[in-house]
Structure 1
Amino acid sequence: MPVTQRPLHLAVALDGPLQHPDAAAHFVRLGQLAERGTLDFVTLGDSFTGPGLDALAVLARIAPATDRIGLVPTVTTTHTEPFHVSTAVSTLDWVSRGRAGWAVGVSTTDAEAALFGRRDAAPPADVWREAGEVADVAARLWDSWEDDAEIRDRASGRFVDRDKLHYVDFTGSTFSVRGPSIVPRPPQGRPVTVIDATGDGDGGPAAEEAAAAYADVALVRAEDPQAAGAARTALRERARALGRNPDRLIVLASLPVELYSSGDAVGLADLLGDWHADGAADGFHLRPADPARDLAHLVDGTVPVLQHRCLLRRFYPGATLREHLGLPRPANRYALAREAS
């Protein structure tokens, strides 16, 4: 039975052919265009060996040129120190005033492993289990400063209340982190964690487990609404089994799109509306074939149709990415434990 109609979430990938002499300006224009369409967030892929700019640096450049759009770069956890991952994403949240997320990425190739020379490439199941541990410790590091840990008392010379800084003392399968972070707790408490539950096609059960355990937003690649709906149900059930509130896990169907005309854009609105009415997903992460062309059709064609049908907001009611997604700001686990004791 179709679910009750409710506003859907909409995000878009900025990846695509790039032939612009000024890449930074190109991405700024795309980010501003996505914001005009009141999309929840944009994503930008990354890898150690692929061409292009560092995704996190690009979105940090977009941050001061936008006001509301969420910014979600891919951050590869394999071969990268979890402490550095946490610090970089936290910094993006500060730069964007609470609009940051991160898409958890992994590396499985010998070529990328050779760049670091510390260990051999590992199977997808192993690196996705490690990625889940990185997501876990990143959240702990973001909590390692309580919200009011900063004192900034010039008279006494005290910058921070040391009693409100906490060691995370985390030991994973391939790393250990003591903490605390070197960056104060981010504006959102914890930036939004996005995980592709299909592991970009090769993650298997380990990617699904990481998404169910640690994601705020899970992406599902499916060819029909039935498959997407089944994946959403499975992820929510697994999240519940892990002790999470499944309503705190947003599942987006990640779909490739190619728009050549306004007719295509209206047809896409019909498809998204039908999938959403069937309960296939909480919204959509669209992957345009050519963002420079397709994003304009999406914003000027698909978005107005969805807004007219009351399926997409006409303005941003909040300022942070968590507010766009309807996710609460998480309580600090260490502050809760201290208060309880």
Structure 2
Amino acid sequence: MAAGLEPLTLLSALAAVTSRIGLIGTATTTYNEPYHIARKFASLDQISRGRSGWNLVTSDNASESANFGRPQHVSHSQRYARAREFYEVVTGLWDSWEEGAFINDKAGGRWFDRSKLHALNHHGEHFDVAGPLNVARSPQGRPVIVQAGGSETGRELAAETAEVVFTAHANLSSAQAFYRDLKGRLAKFGRHQDSLKIMPGIFSIIGKTQAEAEDKFNTLQDLVEPEAGLALLGRMIGNFDLSSYPLDGPLPELPLTDNGQQSRQKLLTEIAQGENLSIRQLYLRIAGGRGHLTVVGTAETVADHIQEWFEQGGADGFNVMAPWLPGGLRDFTELVVPELQRRGIFRTQYEGKTLREHLRLPKP
């Protein structure tokens, strides 16, 4: 458990002191209602003038159910069935108003053009929502939809609905297979290849020399408390209690999780088996990068990995995961970004104002 701020409140504050960066917040479909989510992100988009994005997730933390009066966590299949309909309701609410609907004609006594209003009147298995949304249409059409599901069900949902996918892969071959699979699913939903951006996470510890980077990495690894590392691994591998197993023994055979992340369970199990890691070695392996691509080295080394994945069909971009803040992010922006710019694979200035323009995504 870590203390933090509620993301929509934080992003609204950041919107007031920034002008270009995108503002993407995570909000679960498992313990929220569609109207609330639609209204919050539509409001953030108005405040930021078109820079908001919603990271649509289903809750993988089983303990979360206790905060919402539920005796047990929702199963994997139920979470995704609810998420699909949740998405349909939220985007339907975002389409309540056409552009230019609010004319504010004081002399004529007309606030809006009624022909440009569309009530939702949704009636489904999980939700009944009348609409319309009481926020005007987004400056960018709709907030950008981001997802992170890697299971079969999650990939189908992403191929149908997502515009950005945040994914975890420890090596290029795994990333390429995922990239081909997800992009290959788009056609059956009538979508173009460029309508979905795949952005794996990269966890980089950067030094001006290889030795400096390794010293930073070892310092961070020494700070991982065994109890915290074991708890993190247990949650991420499917909400299992691993405390009865010896830390220096192998990862036990675990059943397929029904209330956690199935894709992350598969990834971590493959890492443990492929590298012959003990439980202790595995939690140390993922304590920072959470199973994502981890690079320890100079700016050139990090840039080499990014360029290879980008040019070899493993990524459209990356989600930079700083090892600590603000120093880890500063290392990336001051050392890696200039190297990428020298190679001509990272922009030197913003080309637009909205998040969709930054990501080169079409406006709905």
TM-score of the alignment, normalized to the shorter chain, above 0.5? yes
1:54-93 matches, within 5 Å, as 54-93=6-45
Match of 1:183 in 2: 135
Matched AA of 1:189:
G
Match of 2:69 in 1: 117
Give how far 1:108 is off.
4.3
In the alignment, the residues of structure 2 paired with residue 170 and residue 221 of structure 1 have an alpha-carbon distance, to the nearest angstrom, of 34
Matched AA of 2:314:
A
User: Which of 316, 325, 350 is equivalent to 1:291?
Assistant: 325
Matched AA of 2:181:
A
In the alignment, the residues of structure 2 paired with residue 177 and residue 245 of structure 1 have an alpha-carbon distance, to the nearest angstrom, of 30
Question: Is 1:94–2:46 an aligned residue pair?
Answer: yes
User: Which of 293, 301, 317 is equivalent to 1:267?
Assistant: 301
Q: TM-score, normalised by structure 2?
A: 0.72
What secondary structure sits across from 2:26 in the alignment?
strand
Match of 1:310 in 2: 344
RMSD: 1.8
What secondary structure sits across from 2:203 in the alignment?
strand
Q: Is the 8 A contact 1:73 1:103 kept in 2?
A: yes
What secondary structure sits across from 2:77 in the alignment?
helix
Structure ID, larger Rg? 2
**CA 1:63–1:234: 2 relative to 1, 3 Å:** same
Give how far 1:50 is off.
5.3
User: Which of 94, 100, 106 is equivalent to 1:148?
Assistant: 100
What secondary structure sits across from 1:323 in the alignment?
helix
Give how far 1:119 is off.
7.2
Q: Is the 8 A contact 2:7 2:25 kept in 1?
A: yes
In the alignment, the residues of structure 1 paired with residue 169 and residue 12 of structure 2 have an alpha-carbon distance, to the nearest angstrom, of 31
**CA 1:106–1:197: 2 relative to 1, 3 Å:** closer
Match of 1:193 in 2: 145
User: Which of 117, 123, 132 is equivalent to 1:165?
Assistant: 117
Give how far 1:118 is off.
5.9
**CA 1:118–1:156: 2 relative to 1, 3 Å:** farther
Question: Is 1:322–2:274 an aligned residue pair?
Answer: no
Q: Is the 8 A contact 1:99 1:320 kept in 2?
A: yes
Give how far 1:171 is off.
3.1
Matched AA of 1:122:
V
Question: Is 1:51–2:85 an aligned residue pair?
Answer: no
Match of 2:280 in 1: none
Question: Is 1:136–2:105 an aligned residue pair?
Answer: no
In the alignment, the residues of structure 2 paired with residue 156 and residue 119 of structure 1 have an alpha-carbon distance, to the nearest angstrom, of 55
Q: TM-score, normalised by structure 1?
A: 0.77
Matched AA of 1:209:
E
Matched AA of 2:319:
H
User: Which of 226, 229, 236 is equivalent to 2:183?
Assistant: 236
Give how far 1:230 is off.
1.2
Give how far 1:78 is off.
1.2
Q: Is the 8 A contact 1:258 1:290 kept in 2?
A: no
Matched AA of 1:238:
R
Percent of aligned positions that are identical: 38
How many residues of Structure 1 are paired with residues of Structure 2 in the alignment? Answer: 277
What secondary structure sits across from 1:102 in the alignment?
strand
Q: Is the 8 A contact 1:100 1:191 kept in 2?
A: yes
Give how far 1:109 is off.
4.4
Matched AA of 2:80:
W
Higher relative contact order (CA 8 A, sep 6+): 1
Q: Which runs of 5+ in 1 are unaligned?
A: 1-48, 199-203, 331-341
Deviations 1:163-198 (A, max 9, x none): 211122223432222211110101011110100132
What secondary structure sits across from 2:326 in the alignment?
helix
Deviations 1:89-124 (A, max 9, x none): 011111111111111122244532232226742112
In the alignment, the residues of structure 1 paired with residue 109 and residue 59 of structure 2 have an alpha-carbon distance, to the nearest angstrom, of 45
In the alignment, the residues of structure 2 paired with residue 261 and residue 253 of structure 1 have an alpha-carbon distance, to the nearest angstrom, of 24
Give how far 1:286 is off.
1.8
